[in-house]
Amino acid sequence: MEIYQAILLGIVEGVTEFLPISSTFHLIFTAQFLGLEQTEFLKFFTVFIQAGGILAVLFIYGKELWQDHELIKKILFSFVPTSIFGFLLYKLVKDTFFESNWLMLSVFIFFGLIFIFYERYLQKNPSAIGKDLEELSWQQSMLVGVFQTLAIVPGVSRSGAVILIMLLLGQKRASAAKYSFLLAIPTILSTAVFDLAKTQESLSFSPTEIIATAIGFLVSFAVALVVLRWLIGYLQKNSLAFFGYYRLGLGLILLALL
């Protein structure tokens, strides 16, 4: 992997990890367009640089989260169903969706359409959302975790799934986005550990590959920091419709290229 490729992948990860547009989907197709093969190192690289996004979340919300024990408990409660279903369905998804560009693109476009149609509904029913995180019940936090499980399929988007179900539960857009950021901490860390445990050659990389990984991590952290701050402000005044149209447009372009 060249340094410019590591930088580009770090940017893609930092931008897409917390936007409802599926970071896994973007990393897979970016790597394909860069001509990178799915080697053990690339698998390790794409998992490791996700930690840059986690560091950005902790940088922004770490102090607040540490002081809110009730929120920590609900986040961990949401994580339980994700960990169970994710473990049970891991091999099926890896062997099916990760090997089919057509399936990934179909899922990517489908969820974009859901965003568009639901936001049209909210335009006519603005009072359907407006709750704060303090009003999220234990049963609802469990439901959020179940819904987040959909994100093991490339193209769904972990943050998109969480934000969508939170909106369906009546949460404000900014509150939904914040919860998706915080829920990313245990979700991404556990996924990283699980994936790295399956990467047999992760400790025998060349100095160049180690440098590329470090650069990708730092770029991902810096970009995610900017994106996180921007997204909270954006969703306070705007809807998910833009991301839905983005999914639809990019998905159709990639389908045409394929």
Q: Where in the chain are the domains?
A: 3-208+241-257
Characterize 116-135 residue by residue with b for buried, 16 or more Cβ atoms within 10 angstroms of its Cβ, and e for exposed. Answer: bebbeebeeeeeebebebee
206 φ, ψ (degrees, to nearest 5): -75, 160
Other residues' Cβ atoms within 10 Å of the Cβ of residue 62? 12
- pLDDT tens, residue by residue, 20-36: 888 888 888 888 888 88
- pLDDT tens, residue by residue, 231-243: 988 888 888 899 9
Alpha-carbon gap, residue 66 to 234, rounded angstroms: 25
| Better-predicted residue by pLDDT, 18 or 92 | 18
Distances (CA, A) of 102 to 17, 22, 42: 22, 15, 22
Determine the pLDDT at residue 156: 84
- pLDDT tens, residue by residue, 166-200: 999 999 988 999 999 999 999 888 877 776 676 65
Answer whether 161's CB lies under 8 Å from 150's CB: yes
pLDDT band at 74 (very low <50, low <70, confident <90, very high): very high
Determine the pLDDT at residue 200: 56
Alpha-carbon gap, residue 79 to 104, rounded angstroms: 24
pLDDT band at 203 (very low <50, low <70, confident <90, very high): low
> Please, what is the average pLDDT of the chain?
86
Tokens of 162: 């969480």
Determine the pLDDT at residue 48: 83
pLDDT greater than 60 at residue 202? no
Answer whether 159's CB lies under 8 Å from 149's CB: no
Determine the pLDDT at residue 98: 58
- pLDDT tens, residue by residue, 107-139: 889 999 999 999 999 988 988 888 989 999 999
Determine the pLDDT at residue 222: 95
Q: Which amino acid is at 73?
A: K
Tokens of 50: 């996700």
Answer whether 157's CB lies under 8 Å from 111's CB: yes
